[in-house]
Structure 1
Amino acid sequence: MDKVLQSGGADTGVSIYDEFPRRTLTEAARREGKGPSTVWRWALKGCRGVKLETFLHGGVRCTTDPALRRFFDAI
């Protein structure tokens, strides 16, 4: 079963919605030098049992720079 990272940990009360900067998955892919389909796969299916934290903002799937850092640290 995939594990989904929780923003800031359960005891801090920090939510991914409170983190900045926010990026669309396409922007995140461009920033990391990866293809958009790769970042979408990280969000939907995960990598090595870890999923990239995302949220919907106005119907657009987004993530944050801190969420990307946590994802890379976990894999």
Structure 2
Amino acid sequence: MLLLVLPLAVYLLYPPEVKSGDEVPKWAAGELAKIGGITLRQVELAVLVLLALTLWIFGGEVINATTVAIAV
């Protein structure tokens, strides 16, 4: 029941800022310009997350999952 009601409640409490489809591309371009490109720190984080997931899934024979969590 909560899964059905929650999206409606969120929509009513926090309505979308952009209502028209014509405004969306302009708004998205502005937001992307504000945040800029991907930084080196973001790339490092993505690599570490992928490494951790890969080792947790496939590295069971080589390295313990707890060791992976501590190392990353």
Select the structure of larger CA radius of gyration. Answer: 2
TM-score for the superposition, normalised by structure 1: 0.24
Greater fraction of residues in strand: 1
Higher relative contact order (CA 8 A, sep 6+): 1
Greater fraction of residues in helix: 2
TM-score for the superposition, normalised by structure 2: 0.25
